Amino acid sequence: MGHIDHGKSTLLDYIRKTNIVATEAGGITQHLSAYEVTHPGSDGLPKRITFLDTPGHEAFSQMRSRGARVADVAILVVSAEDGVKAQTKEALASIIAAKTPYIVAINKIDKPAANIDRTKNSLVENEIYIEGFGGDIPALPISAKTGQGVPELLDMVLLLADMQTLTADPGRPASGIVIEANVDPRKGISATLIIKNGTLKKGMFVIAEQSIAPVRAIETFMGTLVPEASFSSPIRITGWSGVPPVGASFDACENKKEAEQLVAAFGDPNRKENIPGIGLSSDGKTFVPVIIKTDVSGTLEAVEKELGKLDQEKIGVRIIHAGVGTITEGDIKNAQGTDPAIVLGFNVKTDTQARIMAERTNVRIELFDIIYKLTEWLGEEMAKRTPKETVIEVRGKAQLLRLFSATKQKQVIGGRVLEGSFDHGALVRIMRRETEIGTGKVLELQQQKVKADKVLEGNEFGAMIESKIELATGDILEALVRIER
């Protein structure tokens, strides 16, 4: 990541072309927007590193919006000629927001005007505290053109990865992140995935939010077909039921029934706090993504200005593309990368191919000839999508005094309410020596052997608790309640 002219693409090209695996294969076919290279680790054995193809790739902005961590390590590229620029600071802000460990690559050291010391001072002046200058951020001088320092840069990537003690389990079904999605008129909907954990095999099913795909073929970044893939491989899967949102998490299932159950559960309100909201920014604000097409550029400016006035505390409008002229097939393809995208047309028409593709991919097109009608309609749509905030509050605390019996996951206990109230049907957080060890649910509640809806502070009670955790005398049970506001 970094400023536009500081050599990011050149660095990626050098790494890609000098990679042994790529050379053996006769040169990389840039089939996907991510690729793997190998580099010797400290033990001399080859280690795989997966690069996302371009730092400006849509996946990065979507990942930041959802707060996901698509990358384990970031490389901030800074020119030894120019030092820190505005885009450098923007890239750094994104890296810090994602809490991703990073390395500074001081590029273009082969240039006559290169000044490494001046560049390091520029970094420190912009609060990028590198090693040897009051901080612990690694900074390596490189030349993406000649390759000088690039092996050391890859060494540092592996070292930073080792320091994070990244782990994964090849024995479990795959999970990871959608980094790209598109529609091919012949093949259908395909998506590029980065596997973060587990193994994906032919015959499985993958789901991403409300999209599902059977794994009939697994395509690598080289365009070859493999029977299975594991972390951290970039792969392509084709045959999705809908366009999976870029930045969404995906999970693999052994069979179609399990996958369909997960897709159905995605809309379960009980899972709201665990599912990244569509169009969320890093500060939790939701954005409705739109594409705008108008008859003339002056009208386009006016529409953009009016849409800016719709911004609210919890929700706003994000214009992902704007242009002049008829709504085309290309506009619909742009809309598919973000869900749910809306194509807004002002004094324009929709061509036939665009209309057919929109119907097939469920992209919404709305046409207007009066600006206030457009903003009025979009305002109503935003009102429907304004998120409700769900918070978990502790309603009361109780101490377990005695465990009477346990059958499978149902345990009969006696306890005393220490504060607040203990309610029938409440979810409970189980605390042991001030550490959370699990959760459960109050199935039955009695006070003085009489069924009760709640027991107040200072009173003893009997209860049946459903939990996978074996309860013990002295455990503190916190009664929780979900509040939507």
What is the per-residue pLDDT across 145-159, written as a single tens digit (0 to 9) for each? 899 999 999 999 999
3-state class (DSSP) for residue 302: helix
Look at residue 266 and tell me whether its pLDDT is greater than 80. no
Of 106, 126, 131, nearest in space to 116 by CA: 106
- In the predicted model, what is the mean pLDDT of residues 268-289? 49
Q: Using CA atoms, how far apart are residues 367 and 386, in angstroms rounded to an integer?
A: 23
Of 304 and 19, the structure prediction assigns the larger pLDDT to 304
Please name the residue that has the structure tokens 């070859």. 224
Do the first three CATH levels of 8-163 and 286-385 match, i.e. the same topology? yes
- pLDDT grade, residue 56 (50/70/90)? very low
Q: What ranges do the domains of the chain cover?
A: 8-163, 175-273, 286-385, 390-484
- pLDDT of 185 reads 61
Q: Are the beta carbons of 324 and 293 closer than 8 angstroms?
A: yes
Q: Is domain 8-163 given the CATH code 3.40.50.300 in the classification?
A: yes
Look at residue 263 and tell me whether its pLDDT is greater than 90. no
- pLDDT of 297 reads 57
- In tens, the pLDDT along 60-119 reads 444 443 433 578 898 999 999 989 888 788 888 888 877 889 999 999 999 999 999 999
- pLDDT of 22 reads 40
Bond preceding residue 101 cis, omega within 30 of 0: no
- In the predicted model, what is the mean pLDDT of residues 34-50? 87
- pLDDT of 58 reads 42
3-state class (DSSP) for residue 471: coil
- In tens, the pLDDT along 362-393 reads 899 999 988 888 989 998 888 887 777 778 88
Look at residue 292 and tell me whether its pLDDT is greater than 70. yes
Look at residue 313 and tell me whether its pLDDT is greater than 80. no
Helices (H), 177-296: 256-265
Of 72, 93, 68, nearest in space to 2 by CA: 93
Q: Using CA atoms, how far apart are residues 470 and 437, in angstroms rounded to an integer?
A: 10
Q: How far is CA 379 from the centre of its chain?
A: 27
Please name the residue that has the structure tokens 């024995």. 171
Look at residue 271 and tell me whether its pLDDT is greater than 70. no
CATH number for the segment(s) 175-273? 2.40.30.10
- pLDDT grade, residue 310 (50/70/90)? confident
Provide the sign of the torsion angle of the four alpha carbons 176, 177, 179, 185, taken in this order: positive
Q: Using CA atoms, how far apart are residues 166 and 145, in angstroms rounded to an integer?
A: 31
Residue 35: half-sphere exposure toward Cβ, Cα within 13 Å:
22
Bond preceding residue 232 cis, omega within 30 of 0: yes
Of 453 and 481, the structure prediction assigns the larger pLDDT to 453
Of 450 and 20, the structure prediction assigns the larger pLDDT to 450
DSSP label at 274? G
Q: Are the beta carbons of 473 and 402 closer than 8 angstroms?
A: yes
* Other beta carbons within 10 Å of 477: 27
- CATH number for the 390-484 domain, one of 2.40.50.140, 3.30.420.240, 3.40.50.1370, 2.40.30.10? 2.40.30.10
Q: Give, in words, the CATH class of 286-385.
A: alpha beta
- pLDDT of 312 reads 81
- In the predicted model, what is the mean pLDDT of residues 245-273? 72
Q: E-strand spans in 185-238?
A: 188-197, 199-201, 205-208, 211-214, 218-220, 225-226, 228-230, 234-238
Q: Which residues contact 54 (CB under 8 A, 6 or more apart)?
A: 8, 9, 12, 33
Please tell me the pTM assigned to this model: 0.53
Of 138, 73, 151, 127, nearest in space to 105 by CA: 138
Q: Which residues contact 194 (CB under 8 A, 6 or more apart)?
A: 34, 50, 52, 70, 176, 177, 179, 232, 233, 234
Look at residue 339 and tell me whether its pLDDT is greater than 70. no
Average pLDDT, the chain: 83
